[in-house]
């Protein structure tokens, strides 16, 4: 019997069924504080997102991680409906985002570590809350989250963030689900990893996001990868940061340095980059545009399959052992 260890919004699936997977996207974000920070962070049209998912599936995409956590515009019901109707596996996030995305009196800011951990664990084991954007979450649906989102801002893990990181670590340890961690422009990754380790979370249960916003310091990327975390590279098709060729060459360097088993890819899409919302990139971009570039540089099909299939099937799977 196949091990069912990856928790999608429609239930646990065998690791082998995940297949081609983007490890960090935004399929839906409800109108609210996030969209007030950045209008591109409103992705709330069920039909349009399903159209995007259908295009992705036609190109061979099977799975997507939705990185929007509870209380921060996540649309749990839409995630379940769109997965059911399009056949694309969706892994939803519990956890928390940067404080800038929450109103001043939000429960994420006020609740203590134990209660936060309880909410995250509820979402992973019983079902996701649908009413947490403004008030303390109470109403849940049967669909569960399958990953714990964490985030630090440019000033690092301040006491306000430390409480949240510890609650996330506790949720990961007690459920076996992995952590997907936002870094602001790639900063403070080592600090995050150190905190997780201190709280008993093995680095191979942690996926570090956005380090590739800045490609200037290979040594820093290597130091982060050497801890054993997964490196989720998602600054693809984002030309205000760098070209795709620079990104591809950097990934080649990381492969040559021995980290091919640790790399995951995604687009970290927003409204203005999703084709179905009138944007310019679309979920098919990695398959259609970026993978050919990696092949051109000499990265083998087998290694690319690791980035898209094998590595996500390990990184996203539920496990019980901790350090
Ligand atoms: Zn994101």
What is the pLDDT confidence band of residue 323, given thresholds at 50, 70 and 90?
very low
Sequence-distant (≥ 6) Cβ neighbours of residue 222 within 8 angstroms: 254, 257, 259
pLDDT by residue (tens digit) across 177-224? 999 999 999 999 999 999 999 999 999 999 999 999 999 999 999 999
pLDDT in tens, 233-244: 999 999 999 999
pLDDT at 288 over 80: yes
pLDDT for 2 beyond 70: no
**Interval between CA 105 and ligand 1 midpoint (Å):** 23
For residue 144, the CA-to-ligand 1 centroid distance in Å is 19
- 251 dihedral zone (left: phi>0; alpha: psi -120 to 50; beta): alpha
Distance 266 CA to ligand 1 centre (A): 9
Distance 1 CA to ligand 1 centre (A): 34
CA 181 / ligand 1 centre spacing (Å) = 9
Beta bridge partners of 4: 14
Please tell me the distance between residue 34's alpha carbon and the centre of ligand 1 in angstroms. 12
Report the separation in Å between the CA atom of 296 and the middle of ligand 1, taken as the mean of its atom positions. Answer: 28
Residue 255 alpha carbon to ligand 1 centre in Å: 24
Instruction: Measure 228 CA to ligand 1 centroid, in angstroms.
Output: 22
pLDDT band at 322 (very low <50, low <70, confident <90, very high): very low
Of 246, 253, 256, 248, nearest to 291 by C-alpha is 248
List the single range of 30-44, 105-119, 213-227, 299-313 with lowest mean pLDDT.
30-44
Q: In the chain, what are the domains?
A: 18-315 (3.20.20.140)
**Percentage with pLDDT > 90 across the chain:** 94
Long-range contacts of 2-5, Cβ-Cβ distance < 8 Å, separation of 24 or more = 3/317, 5/317, 5/318, 5/319
Q: What is the pLDDT of residues 5-28, one digit of tens each?
A: 999 999 999 999 999 999 999 999
Contact by Cβ (8 Å): 28, 35: no
Q: Which residue has the tokens 């921060």?
A: 72
Tell me, in angstroms, the distance from the centre of ligand 1 to residue 2's CA.
31
Residues in the 5 Å CB sphere of ion ligand 1:
67, 268
Instruction: Report the separation in Å between the CA atom of 209 and the middle of ligand 1, taken as the mean of its atom positions.
Output: 8
């Amino acid at each position: 019997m196949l091990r069912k260890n990856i928790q999608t919004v429609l239930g646990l699936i065998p690791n082998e069924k995940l297949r081609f997977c983007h490890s960090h996207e935004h399929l839906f974000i409800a109108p609210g504080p996030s969209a007030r920070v950045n209008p591109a962070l409103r992705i709330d049209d069920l039909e349009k997102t399903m159209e995007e998912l259908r295009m992705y599936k036609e190109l061979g995409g099977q799975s997507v991680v939705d990185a929007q956590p509870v209380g921060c515009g996540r649309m749990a019901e839409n995630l379940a409906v769109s997965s059911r109707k399009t056949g694309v596996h969706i892994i939803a996030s519990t956890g928390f985002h940067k404080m800038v995305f929450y109103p001043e009196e939000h429960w994420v800011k006020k609740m203590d570590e134990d209660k936060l951990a309880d909410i995250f664990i509820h979402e992973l084991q019983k079902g996701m809350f649908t009413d947490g954007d403004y008030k303390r979450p109470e109403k849940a649906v049967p669909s569960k989250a399958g990953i714990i989102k964490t985030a630090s801002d440019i000033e690092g893990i301040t006491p306000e963030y430390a409480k949240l990181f510890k609650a996330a670590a506790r949720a990961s340890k007690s459920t076996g689900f992995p952590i997907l961690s936002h870094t602001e422009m790639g900063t403070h990754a080592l600090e995050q990893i150190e905190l997780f380790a201190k709280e008993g979370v093995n680095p191979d249960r942690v996926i570090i996001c956005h380090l590739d916003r800045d490609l200037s310091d290979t040594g820093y990327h290597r130091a982060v990868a050497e801890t054993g975390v997964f490196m989720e590279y998602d600054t693809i098709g984002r030309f205000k940061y760098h070209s795709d060729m620079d990104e591809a060459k950097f990934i080649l360097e990381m492969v040559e340095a021995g980290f091919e088993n640790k790399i995951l890819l995604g687009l970290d899409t927003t409204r203005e980059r999703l084709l179905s919302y009138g944007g310019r990139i679309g979920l098919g971009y990695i398959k259609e545009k970026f993978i050919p570039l990696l092949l051109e540089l000499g990265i083998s099909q087998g290694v690319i399959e690791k980035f898209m299939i094998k590595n996500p099937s390990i990184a996203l799977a539920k496990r019980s052992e901790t350090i």
